[in-house]
Structure 1
Amino acid sequence: MPVFLRSLLALILLALSALAFPALAQGPSPNGSPIIREQRAVMDGLRQRTDQLEKQIAANSEDDSHLVDIRLQLEETERQLLQSSVAFRPRLTEINNRLDQLGPAPAEGQPPEQDLVTRERQALLAEKAEINAALGVAEDQSIRINALITRITEMRRDLFSRLLTRRYDIGTALAGEVAEAARNEATDLYRTVASWVRFVVQFKLRSVLFATFFALLAAAILLIGGRRLFGRLFEADGNVESPSYLSRLSVAFWSTLVPTAALAVFLTTTYLLYDYFAVLRGDIGTMMTSLFIVIGLVFFVHRLGSSVLSPRLPNWRLIAVDTQAARLLLWLVSATAIFTGIDVFLSTVYSVLDSPLSLTVGESLIATVLTGILVVLIGLVRPFTGEDGRPRRWHPVLSATLFLLGGVTIVAALLGYIGFARFLSTQIVVTGAVLATMYIGFLSARAVAEEGAFAGTTLGRRFESRFSLDASTLDQLALVVSIAINILILVVGVPLILFLWGFQPGDIQAWVYKAVTGIRIGSFTLSFTGIFWGILVFVLGYFLTRWFQGWLDGSVMARGKVDAGVRNSIRTVVGYAGLAIAVLMGVSAAGIDLSNFALIAGGLSLGIGFGLQNVVSNFVSGLILLAERPFKAGDWIVAGPVSGTVKKISVRATEIETFQRQTVILPNSDLINSAVGNWTHRNKLGRIEIPVGVGYGSDAKRVHEILLEIASNHPLVLKNPEPFVLFSAFGDSSLDFEVRVFLADVSNGVIVQNDVRFAILEAFARENIEIPFPQRDVHLKREPPAEKWPIDDDKVEAEYFERAKALEEKATPQPAPRRKRRKPDPS
C-alpha cells in the first residue's frame, strides 16, 4: 500500500476515534458519579444534624431563646439541603441530553443496537435513578425540617400563652418568709458584686478604665456630632417666643433620639469592651445587661416626656397643657418607667441568684400594682384650662383608655396573673414610649414635606447656599427627606416593637431572609431583593437616558445647528426609547417572568381593543407625528378653532399655547385626522392682508399710491416679493382696497398690521381722504287703519295712531355728527 494511502487511512481512523470519544467520555465511570458520592455525604451530614436538633427541641422546650436558635439552625440546614439538591441539576441535564441523543431502546422485531450503546444507556438510566432517589431523600428531609419548624412555632406559642395565663398564689408572696428571703438575696447580691469588684480592682482595673474611656469617647462623638449636625433642632431655644410647629416637632424628636442613641452607644460599647477584655463573669454579665437596659429605658422615657411636655419652656410644648400639669405628668411618667425598670432588673437578679419563686412573685406584684396606680393617676390629671378658667380633663377616650389599662394591670396582679400584669405594665411604658417617638417622627416628616418648610430649616439653608437650589428644588428635596425619615422610623421602630412583644431576633432574621429570598404566592415568587435591584436598574437606566438626551441635544445637535423642532423630536424619541429599555432591564433584573403574565396580557389586549382604543389611537398618532413631523415645537399652527405655538409633542397629546397664553391640549388623533395649518412649516415667510375702505368721492389712484408707499416703507416688509395693493370691490358705502405684504417672519404680522394702519390713518388725514361708515335708509311699511272701528271706540283708535307714530320716530335713523378733521401735528 502506498505511503500516502496508509497516512490517509490513519487520519480517518484517528478522526473516527475522536468522534467516538465524547460518547464514551459521557458514560459513567466504573466507580460511579463523583457528584452523587459528594452530595450523598453532604445529605448524610445534614440528616445527622437534623437528628441532633430534634433532640435539642425536646431538651429546651421551656426556653424560648433556645427554641429560636434551633429554628434558625433548622432553616440554615434546609438552605444547605436545597443547595445540595440544586447541585444535581447540571449532571441530570447532561444525562437527559445524552439519553435523547441515544434514543429509546429498539423494540422487538427491530434490528439490535450495538452493545456499547446498550451498556451506556443502562448506565445512564441507573445513574439517573440514583440521582432521583437522592432528590427524593432530600425532599423527605425538607418535609421533616418544615415539620420541626412548625413544631417549634407551636411550642413557642404555647409557652407564651402559659406565661401570660399562669396564676400564682398571692398568699405565699405576702407571707412573712418573703421579707427574710429578700434580706438573704440582698446579702448574696452584695457578696457577688463585691467579689467581682475586688477581682476587677486587682486584675482588670486598666482594662475597665480603658473600656470606659473609649465608650465615653464614642458617646461624646455621637452627641457632639448630633449637636453640630442638627443645630437648633437639637435643643429648645428659650429666647424664641413663638416657635413654629415644625421647630417644636423637630426639637422634640431629635432631642429625644440623639441623646438616647448616645447613651445606648456608651452602654453597648462598655459592655462589649468589658466582655472583650474578660472583665465580666457570667452572672455579672447577665445582671449588667439588664441594668444597662433599665438605665436606657428610664432615660429614654424621661427624655421623651421632657421634650413633649417641656415643663421649663411652655412655648416649646407639643401638648398645650398647664405648666403645673406638665411637671406632674413628667413626674408620673418617669416614676412609671422607674418602677417598670426596677421590676425588670430585680427579676433578672432573682433569676441569676436562683431566688425563691415567692420572692419573685411578691416583687412583681408590688411593681405592677404601683405601675397600674400611676397609669390611673395619669388619667385623673386635669392638664387643660377651660374657657371658664377651671381645670379640664383629658379627652374621654384617652381617659377611658388609661383607666382601662391601669385597672386591668392592677386586677390581673391581684388575681395572681403576675406574668400577664408584668407584660401589660412593661408594654404600657416601653411600647407607649416607642410609639410616641415614632408618632412625633412621622409628624416631623410630614411637616418637613410641607411647601416651604424645609427651606426654613438649618439643613435646608445649607443645601440652598451650598448648591444654589431654588424653592421648587428644595421642596422636592424635602419630599425625599420626608420619605427617608419615614423609612428610618419604620426600620428602627417596627423591629423594636416586635422585640418588646416577645419576638426574638431570630424571628426577625427569618422574616428578613424570606422577604429577601422570595415569598411564594401560588406559582409566583415575590423577592424584595429582586424588586430592589429591578428598581435600581430602572433608575440607573432612566438617569442614563436623561444624560444621553442632554448630551445629544447640547453637544451633538446644538453644534450641528439642528433646527429646534427637530432637536425636540429626536430628544422625545430617544427619551421614550430609553425609558422602554430601562423598564425591560428593570423587569429582567427583578427576576420577573413575563410569561406568567400571558393571561393578563391577553386580557389587556382585549381591553385595549374595546375600551382603550382612543388611547392607542393617540399613541400611534403621536409616533406618526414624531416620525413625519408635519409640525414641530415652536411652529405656529392652526387646528380648527385653535391657533397658537406648539410647545410639546408627546405620544398622547400635543401642547399648544395660544396668543392669549392659554395652554390647549389636543389629542394627537385629532391632529392626524383633521386639517392642520402650519404657518412656519418650511420657513417663516408669510403674507398678511390689511383691508381698508375710502369714500366714493376719493381718488382711487391716489389711494393706491399712498397705500403702496406706506407698505413699501415699512422695515419689516420684504421687497421681494414686493408689496401689492388690490382694489378689491365696490362696497355698499366705500371703495374697498386690500394691502398685501410679505414678511420674513410671519409671527410679526400683528406688529406690521398695527403700524400700517396707523400710517394709513395719518396719510388719509393729510390727504383729506375720508374713511366712510355704513349708512342705511330704513323704510317702514304701515298698514292703513281699519275702515270701521267698533262703535264708541274712539279711545282705541287714538291709541293705535299714537303707537304707530312712536314706532316711526324710533325707526328713523338720526344723522350722525360729522367728525372734525384732525389738523396735522406741526411737529
Structure 2
Amino acid sequence: MRRPLLWLGLALGLALTAAPVPAQDQARTAAAGSEVEIEAPAADSPELDYALWERIAERAEAEIEDRNTPSERLEDIRTRLAKWRAALLAAQSANSARIATLRQQIEALGPAPADGAVEAEEISARRQELTNQLVKVQAPGIAAEEAYRRADGLIDEIDRTLRERQADQLLQLWPSPLNPGNWPEAAIGLADTVQRLWDEILEAWQTPAARQTLFDNLPLILVLVVVAAALVIYVRRWIEAFAERLQVGASVRGRHFLALIASLGGILLPTLGVAALSRAMLVSGMLGEIGTLIAMVLPVAGLLVFVFAWIGARVFPRVQDDDPVLPLPPERRAEGRLLSVLMGLVLAANLLRGAAMDAQAYSDATTAVMTFPILLTGGLVLIRLGRTLRGIAETDARNASYGLRLIQLLAKGLTVVGIAGPVLAGLGYVQAAEAMIYPAMLSFALVTILFILQRLIGDAWALISRSDQSARDGLVPVLAGFALSIAALPLLALIWGARLSDLTELWTRFNEGFQIGGTRISPSNFLIFAAVFVLGYMLTRLFQGALRTTILPKTRMEPGGQTALVAGVGYVGIFLAALIAINAAGLDLSGLAIVAGALSVGIGFGLQNIVSNFISGIILLVERPVSEGDWIEVGGVQGKVRAISVRSTRIETFDRNDVIVPNADLITGRVTNWTRFNLSGRLIVPVGVAYGSDTRKVERILREIAEAQPLTVLNPPPLVVLTGFGNDAIQFEIRLILRDVNFLLTVRSEINHQILERFTAEGIEIPFAQSDVSLRNVDEIVEGLLRLRDGQASPPRGRRKAVAVTGIEKDDSG
C-alpha cells in the first residue's frame, strides 16, 4: 500500500518519511536489534577484523533462515553486509605490488628443478625463502576473497527472500470489494475513522492547554490560511495566464524556454500554499494522531495534484503554437488537461486514505472496499487518457516522429492497465491492482516530463547559441535528451516495484567489472584506458601537424615521401598510444592470446582484400613508384594522382572526375607513369598522303613542321618515317620528344593544323576512303530511266517507287 507512495516520492525527487511500523513489527525489530547487531566495518581501520566478520556472518545467516524476520530488518542487514562486501573486495588487492615483486624474483631464479635434478644450495634456499614470503603476503587476499564470496552469497539470499515476499504480497487475495457482504464492515471502518478524527479534535478542544495554544496562534493561523488560499486559488491562475502570454509575446528563440520556466511557479507557489495550510493545522493544537498524519501528508498530496496539473497544461496547452508537444485538436487537449488533474487527485486521494486509515489496522475487507473506488476511478482515467493519446495518430499520422510513436505505445499500455487494474481489484487482488494503476500514472508523468525537459534543453541551446528554432534538434540537445532517458531508467524501475537495493546491486556489479583470465576489468580501467589513449592520439596528431607544416617542408624530401612519413608516424603513434593505455589501465590481455589468434584467422579470410590494399598502400608510400601529381594510366584510366592513402589512390581524370583505385591494382597491375622522373615524353602523329605524291617532299615538309614546334626537343631531332602503304594512302609518322608531356594534346593539334595548311599550299592531297562501281548494260539502264522520267512506262505492279534522276554521264566506251 505504501510502496506506490515511495515510488511517487522518488519519481518527484522527494524524500518521504517512512510510515510508522505496526507495534508488533516494531517490537520484533527492536528485539532482534537488541539480540543481534550487525556492525559495519570500520572506515578508518587499515585491516579487517576477520574474527568479527565471522561472528557477524553467523548472526546474519541465523536471521536470514528465520522466516519471521521482518523485511525491514533484512534490508538493514543487507545494507551492512554490502559495506562489508565492499571492504572485502578492496582487501583482495592487498599486497598486490609486493606479490608481483616476489613472483618476478622467483621467476628470475629460473624454473624449479625437475625430479632428480640438483640445484645450487644458495638458489634453492633463496627460492624457498621467497616462496614462504609469497605464501605469507598472499594470505590476506585469499582470506578476503573467501569472506567476499560468503558476504555476496548472503546478500543474494536476502535479495531472493525479499523478492519472494514481494511477489507473495502482490498475489495476495483479499475479500472482493464487489461483494456486498463486505460493504457494512467497510462503512463501519470509515465511520470509525471519522469518529476518531472528531473525537481527537473534541478532546483537544476540551483541553485548556490545547485551547490556549489555538488562541495564542490564531493570528498566525489566519495569516497562513489567507496565504494558502491566495497561493492555491489566485496565484496559480495568474501564473498560468502569464506563461501563456509570455509564450505568445516572447521572441521565437526564447518564448518556449521562458514560458516553461515561468510555469514552474504554478507548482512551487501552490505547494507552498498547501504547506502553509498544513502548518496552520499543526500549530492549531487541535489535531490528534490521525489529524497529524493527514496534515503531514497534505503538502505531498497537493504537490501531486499541482504537478499533474502542470504536466497537463504543458502537454495539452490551451494555446498551441506551430511546434506542439502533442499535435491534438482543442477538444482533445481540454480533455487531456482534465484527465491529468484527475490522475493527481487519484494519487492524492490514495495517499490521504492511507494516512487516515492504515494506522488503524483495519481488516483486508475494509481496506479493499475503501481502495476500490479510487482504483476504479484511476482505471477509467487511464482508459480515457489512452484514447486521448491515440488521437495523435488521427491528427498527425504521416509526420509522427519516434517520440510520438512512443506516446502511441504508451497509450496502448495505459488502456490495458486501465482495464486490467480494476478487474484485478474486483477479484480481490487489490495490491496487484495498485502495483499496476499507480505506477502507470507515474510512468506517464515521467515520460511526459522527459519530453518537456528535452524541449527545455533544446530551447535553452537555441537561446545560448543564438540560432533559429531548428537548433533544438541539433546534436547537443539530442545527446542531452538521450542522457536524460538513460538516467530515467532507474527511476522507472523503482516506479514499477524494483527495490533501491536492486539498483545499488547492479551499480556495485558494474563497478566491480568482470574477470578475464587473471585480470579484473572495471569501468575505472576503461576510463583510464580512454583518457590515456585520447591523450596519446592528440599528441600524435599534433606531432603529425608539426611534421607536415613546419619540419618536412624545409627538407628536400619529395611530397610523396613527406606524406608517407607523416602517415607512418600516425600509425606508429596510435599503436604506441594503445599499448601505453593498456599498460596504464593495468590490463593483462595475455589470456586473450588464443582467442585473438582464432579471431585473426577468421578476420584474415574476411578482410584479405582490405589487408592486401593496406599493404600495397604502405609499399606505394615507401617505394613511391607513383607520387601525388603524377600523370598515370592504370586499368584504362588516365589522370593525375591527387591523393594516396593506405587503402586506395584517388586519380583525377581529364574530365575532372575522381576515380578511386585500390592500391593493389597499382602494385599488381600494369601502370604507365607519364611524368614519374621528368616531364619529357614522345609524341607520334600519323599522316596519310595520296598515292602519286612526292614522298621526299612530304618528308621534308613534315620535318620542318615538327622542328618548328617550341616544345620540341632537337637532340635527338624529330624523326619522319614512311611506315607503309595502306589501302587508300601512303602512311607517314612524325615522331618527336616534347619537353613537357602535359602539352601533348595541344602540340598534336597544332601540328595537324600546320599539316593541313602546308599540304594545301603545296598541292599534296590527303586521301579519303572511296569506292569505284562498274555497271553493265548502261544503255538499257539509261533508256529505262528516261522513259520513267517522262511517264512513258511504270514499274511493275507491287514494286512501284519514286526515282529521281539527277544526272547521268556516259563515256564513249559505254
The normalised TM-score by structure 2 is: 0.66
Matched, 1:651 2:646: yes
Deviation, 1:45, is: 4.0
The aligned runs of 1:520-669 (5 Å cut-off) are 520=515, 525-560=520-555, 562-589=557-584, 591-607=586-602, 612-669=607-664
Matched, 1:724 2:724: no
Q: 1:73 aligns with which of 74, 80, 95?
A: 80
Cα distance change on mapping 1:380 and 1:611 into 2, 3 Å: closer
The aligned runs of 1:705-724 (5 Å cut-off) are 717=711, 721=715, 724=718
Q: 2:189 aligns with which of 174, 177, 199?
A: 177
Work out the CA distance in 1 between the residues paired with 2:135 and 2:377.
70
Cα distance change on mapping 1:253 and 1:47 into 2, 3 Å: farther
| Equivalent in the alignment of 2:237 | none
| Equivalent in the alignment of 1:368 | 375
Work out the CA distance in 1 between the residues paired with 2:130 and 2:269.
62
Deviation, 1:371, is: 0.7
| 8 Å Cα contact 1:46/1:81 also seen in 2 | no
Deviation, 1:630, is: 0.6
Deviation, 1:595, is: 2.0
The aligned runs of 1:50-449 (5 Å cut-off) are 50=57, 67-87=74-94, 137-169=143-175, 170=177, 171=182, 174-182=186-194, 184-185=196-197, 237=248, 297-313=304-320, 315-344=322-351, 346-347=353-354, 363-379=370-386, 383=391, 401-438=413-450
Q: 1:687 aligns with which of 682, 686, 699?
A: 682
| 8 Å Cα contact 1:68/1:507 also seen in 2 | no
Higher relative contact order (CA 8 A, sep 6+): 2
Question: One-letter code of the match for 1:617?
Answer: S
Other structure's SS at 1:646 match: strand
Work out the CA distance in 2 between the residues paired with 1:48 and 1:679.
88
Other structure's SS at 1:630 match: coil
Work out the CA distance in 1 between the residues paired with 2:510 and 2:725.
86
% identical equivalent positions: 27
| 8 Å Cα contact 2:435/2:497 also seen in 1 | no
| Equivalent in the alignment of 2:766 | 772
Work out the CA distance in 1 between the residues paired with 2:690 and 2:137.
110
Number of residue pairs matched by the alignment: 680
Q: Which moved more, 1:664-673 or 1:631-640?
A: 664-673
Question: One-letter code of the match for 2:541?
Answer: R
Q: CA RMSD in A?
A: 5.9
Alpha-carbon deviations, 1:202-233, whole Å to 9, x = none?
A: 9xx9xxx9xx9xxx9xxxxxxxxxxxxxx99x
Deviation, 1:148, is: 1.6
| 8 Å Cα contact 2:686/2:734 also seen in 1 | yes
Alpha-carbon deviations, 1:490-523, whole Å to 9, x = none?
A: 12x1111022123344432332232123034787
Cα distance change on mapping 1:364 and 1:679 into 2, 3 Å: same
Work out the CA distance in 1 between the residues paired with 2:128 and 2:680.
87
| Equivalent in the alignment of 1:227 | none
| 8 Å Cα contact 1:643/1:658 also seen in 2 | yes
Alpha-carbon deviations, 1:652-690, whole Å to 9, x = none?
A: 333323223343333333322233221121233333333
Q: Which moved more, 1:734-743 or 1:125-134?
A: 125-134
Alpha-carbon deviations, 1:330-365, whole Å to 9, x = none?
A: 2113311331134235535666x6675677656533
Deviation, 1:631, is: 0.8
Alpha-carbon deviations, 1:610-657, whole Å to 9, x = none?
A: 565444433322222211111112211112322222233233333323
Cα distance change on mapping 1:412 and 1:142 into 2, 3 Å: same
| 8 Å Cα contact 1:704/1:725 also seen in 2 | no
Q: Which moved more, 1:655-664 or 1:548-557?
A: 655-664
Alpha-carbon deviations, 1:686-736, whole Å to 9, x = none?
A: 333333445557676776676566656666x25665873524445534455
Cα distance change on mapping 1:40 and 1:260 into 2, 3 Å: same
Cα distance change on mapping 1:487 and 1:654 into 2, 3 Å: same
| Equivalent in the alignment of 2:10 | none
Cα distance change on mapping 1:102 and 1:434 into 2, 3 Å: closer
Alpha-carbon deviations, 1:388-415, whole Å to 9, x = none?
A: xxxxxx9999887544322222223333
Work out the CA distance in 2 between the residues paired with 1:602 and 1:718.
61
Q: Which moved more, 1:87-96 or 1:363-372?
A: 87-96
| Equivalent in the alignment of 1:3 | none
Work out the CA distance in 2 between the residues paired with 1:77 and 1:311.
56
| 8 Å Cα contact 1:636/1:645 also seen in 2 | yes
Matched, 1:487 2:446: no
Work out the CA distance in 2 between the residues paired with 1:710 and 1:165.
107
| Equivalent in the alignment of 1:670 | 665
Work out the CA distance in 2 between the residues paired with 1:45 and 1:524.
30
Other structure's SS at 1:680 match: coil
Other structure's SS at 2:629 match: coil
Other structure's SS at 1:637 match: strand
| 8 Å Cα contact 1:252/1:304 also seen in 2 | no
Other structure's SS at 2:649 match: strand
Work out the CA distance in 1 between the residues paired with 2:85 and 2:299.
37
| 8 Å Cα contact 2:614/2:646 also seen in 1 | yes
| 8 Å Cα contact 1:74/1:149 also seen in 2 | yes
Work out the CA distance in 2 between the residues paired with 1:745 and 1:307.
74
Other structure's SS at 1:411 match: helix
Alpha-carbon deviations, 1:230-276, whole Å to 9, x = none?
A: x99x9855899xx9xxx9xx9999977996699699999x99xxxxx
Deviation, 1:320, is: 4.2
Work out the CA distance in 2 between the residues paired with 1:606 and 1:112.
45
Question: One-letter code of the match for 1:429?
Answer: M
Deviation, 1:573, is: 1.9
